């Protein structure tokens, strides 16, 4: 009987546990998480923070789910070290858990702003359900808010401010939101969306330091230009620091995340990794890539489990991810790796409709759609097929795009 140990009960760890039980019914499976609750929908916690969704629908697995599958779940348990020679996982309570095969699915922790008083009361980071509960409570009582971090998570804070009636200032470096993936035209639609929610984008800004009152509650953020923004609520989303500190000495290859191949194998025997924490070999891009999204993490967990159970390189991770934002009157979707292109084509169709496609070596590697998401199926399929777009990039900007609108793929063989 094989002993599988999974560290992390987020979507990647949980999907691996489910797959392992299906693939290897006789095995022993242990899932360890330092959170106090089993798998919940991390994507939906923002709706809770906005005050729109009660707690119940956010939970995905109750403890019975694990019992029914004979999966041993350890809540509130932090893994402190891993011994790859003895194949033992050590926990903060001094427990030693042996494994035959180990999956690391520990994700990341929001990075704290390296400025004074970034740990003040009222300054929030957003990752766990507990964070969402605190954010909700704090936003409900707040009048003014400040948001830092012009990316996909920062905008969730802007939406929380909007939904909770907090007058928000969104302090950004540079001249626009998500400047690595959006041009001025695309970003302007997002800025208008924020303004309609009562959140004002502030450009060429950021936080130099926070100010607090005598009780340690945040009262203002001061930006590098010396501008002072009063706030009793602040949301910081400047990136993730991957949870790898417990892996010191294990000998895993790291490169801002754990390096895995397309089978989710690390360089250390019988240790796999899945989810946000991986820097994986992307077979579509033909290079290492990283991806912080729910669907990708779930699929990586499943593929890792298939290969762990097979004790072989049975299945390759091949995936086009997507990440949508539903806070505004118009839909928004980013797919693939929109920041990686060496060439881009884009078009604005109306005040709320815009499209940009990132192309690398003649192939689609990602894109952003605002307003009309209908081309996503075709664009993702072209990316999956690694179709050479050649001179046809402008066709991808036609209001409606079908696979048949493009000339057939050139044969690779000459």
Ligand X SMILES: Cc1cc2nc3c(=O)[nH]c(=O)nc-3n(C[C@H](O)[C@H](O)[C@H](O)COP(=O)(O)OP(=O)(O)OC[C@H]3O[C@@H](n4cnc5c(N)ncnc54)[C@H](O)[C@@H]3O)c2cc1C
**One character per residue 291-330, x = contact with ligand X (rule: CB under 6 A):** -xxxx-x-------------------------x-------
Backbone Cα Rg of the chain: 22
Q: Which two structure tokens, joined as six digits, stand for 176?
A: 């626009």
Specify the residue, 151 or 174, whose C-beta has the smaller distance to ligand X. 151
Taking the complex as a whole, the smallest distance from the CB of residue 325 to ligand X amounts, in Å, to 7
Take residue 329 and report the two structure tokens written for it. 């009157």
275 binds ligand X (CB under 6 A): yes
- Applying CB under 6 A, the span of 32-40, 158-166, 259-267, 372-380 interacting with ligand X comes to 32-40
> Which C-beta is closer to ligand X: that of 337 or that of 387?
337
Q: Which is nearer to ligand X, 75 or 406 (CB)?
A: 75
What lies within 8 Å, CB to CB, of 240 at 6+ separation is 107, 108, 109, 110, 111, 127, 276, 292
Residue 144 engages ligand X in binding (rule: CB under 6 A) = no
> Would you say 72 and 92 are in contact if contact means Cβ atoms under 8 Å apart?
no
Q: Which of 43, 75, 283, 397 binds ligand X (CB under 6 A)?
A: 43
Closer Cβ to ligand X, 126 or 210, answer by number: 126
Binding mask 92-131 for ligand X (x = CB under 6 A): -------------xxx------------------xx----
* Residue placing its CB nearer to ligand X in the complex, 21 or 42: 42
Q: Is there binding between residue 42 and ligand X (CB under 6 A)?
A: yes
**66 in contact with ligand X (CB under 6 A):** no
Q: How many CB atoms lie within 10 A of CB 371?
A: 21
The interface region with ligand X, picked from 54-62, 192-200, 211-219, 289-297 by CB under 6 A, is 289-297
- Among 17-25, 38-46, 167-175, 212-220, the segment contacting ligand X (CB under 6 A): 38-46
Which residues between 360 and 379 bind ligand X (CB under 6 A)?
A: none
Q: Is 35 in the site for ligand X (CB under 6 A)?
A: yes
Query: At its nearest, how many Å lie between ligand X and the CB of residue 319?
Result: 12
* Residues 206-245: x where in contact with ligand X by CB under 6 A, - otherwise, as a string: -------------------------------------x--
Using CB under 6 A as the binding rule, whether residue 37 contacts ligand X is answered as no
260 binds ligand X (CB under 6 A): no
**C-alpha distance from residue 36 to each of 17, 227, 260, 300 (Å):** 18, 40, 28, 24
CA distance readout (Å), 354 to 184, 201, 207, 370, 380: 11, 20, 30, 5, 17
d(CA 107, CA 144): 31
User: The sheet that has 28-32: what strands, in order across it?
Assistant: 71-74, 28-32, 3-7, 101-104, 271-273
Among 367, 283, 289, residue whose Cα is nearest residue 332:
367
Q: Is residue 13 involved in binding ligand X (CB under 6 A)?
A: yes
Ordered DSSP codes for 356-378: EEEEETTEEEEEEEES--TTHHH
b vs e for 296-310, b when ≥16 Cβ sit within 10 Å of the residue's Cβ? bbbbbbbbbbbbbbe
* Of residues 229 and 319, the one with the C-beta less far from ligand X: 319
> Nearer to ligand X by C-beta: 126 or 177?
126
Closest residue by Cα to residue 308 from 11, 10, 29, 8: 29
- Min dist CB 72 to ligand X, Å, is 14
- Asked if 33 is part of the footprint of ligand X (rule: CB under 6 A), the reply reads yes
Q: State the number of binding residues for ligand X (CB under 6 A).
A: 34
Query: Do 257 and 247 meet the contact criterion of CB atoms below 8 Å apart?
Result: no
- Should residue 332 be labelled a site residue for ligand X when binding is judged by CB under 6 A? no
Burial classification of residue 41, based on how many CB atoms lie within 10 Å of its CB (0-12 exposed, 13-18 middle, 19 or more buried): middle
Question: Toward ligand X, which CB reaches closer, 12 or 265?
Answer: 12
The DSSP secondary structure of 10-30, one letter per residue, reads SHHHHHHHHHHHHH-TTSEEE
Element (H, E) at 74: strand 71-74
Q: DSSP secondary-structure letter at 59?
A: B
Q: Judged by CB under 6 A, does residue 276 bind ligand X?
A: yes
Contacts with ligand X by CB under 6 A lie at: 7-13, 32-35, 42-43, 45-46, 78-79, 105-107, 126-127, 153, 156, 243, 246, 275-276, 292-295, 297, 323
């Amino acid at each position: 009987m094989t002993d599988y140990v999974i560290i992390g009960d987020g979507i990647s760890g949980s999907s691996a546990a489910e797959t392992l039980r299906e693939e290897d019914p006789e095995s022993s499976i242990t899932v360890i998480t330092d959170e106090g609750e089993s798998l919940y929908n991390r994507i939906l916690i923002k709706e809770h923070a906005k005050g729109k969704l009660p707690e119940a629908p956010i939970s995905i697995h109750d403890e019975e789910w694990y019992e029914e599958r004979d999966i041993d779940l350890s809540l509130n348990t932090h893994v402190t070290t891993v011994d790859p020679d003895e194949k033992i996982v050590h926990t903060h309570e001094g427990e030693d858990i042996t494994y035959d095969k180990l999956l690391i699915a520990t994700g990341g922790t929001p990075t704290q702003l390296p400025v004074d008083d970034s740990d003040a009361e009222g300054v929030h980071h957003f990752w766990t359900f507990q964070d969402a509960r605190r954010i909700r409570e704090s936003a409900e009582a707040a009048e003014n808010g400040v948001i830092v971090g012009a990316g996909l998570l920062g905008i969730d804070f802007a939406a929380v401010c909007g939904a909770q009636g907090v007058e928000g200032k969104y302090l950004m470096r540079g001249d626009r939101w998500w400047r690595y993936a959006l041009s001025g035209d695309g970003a302007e639609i997002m800025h208008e969306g924020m303004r309609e929610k009562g959140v004002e984008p502030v450009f060429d800004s950021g936080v130099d330091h926070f100010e607090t009152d005598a009780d340690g509650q945040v009262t203002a953020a001061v930006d590098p230009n010396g501008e002072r923004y009063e706030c009793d609520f602040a949301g910081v989303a400047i990136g993730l620091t991957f949870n790898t500190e417990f892996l010191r000495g294990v000998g895993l290859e790291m490169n801002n995340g754990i390096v895995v191949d397309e089978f989710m194998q690390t360089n250390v025997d019988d240790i796999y990794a899945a989810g946000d924490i991986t820097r994986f070999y992307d077979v579509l891009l033909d290079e290492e890539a990283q991806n912080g999204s729910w669907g990708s993490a779930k699929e990586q967990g499943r593929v890792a489990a298939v290969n762990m159970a097979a004790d072989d390189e049975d299945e390759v991770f091949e995936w086009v991810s997507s990440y949508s934002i539903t806070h505004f009157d118009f839909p928004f979707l980013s797919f693939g790796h929109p920041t990686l292109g060496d060439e881009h084509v884009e078009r604005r169709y109306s005040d709320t409709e815009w499209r940009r496609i990132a192309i690398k070596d003649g192939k689609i590697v990602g894109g952003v759609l605002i307003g009309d998401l209908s081309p996503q199926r075709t664009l993702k399929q072209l990316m999956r097929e690694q179709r050479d777009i050649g001179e046809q990039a402008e066709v991808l900007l036609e209001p409606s795009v079908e696979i048949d609108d493009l000339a057939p793929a050139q044969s690779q063989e000459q």
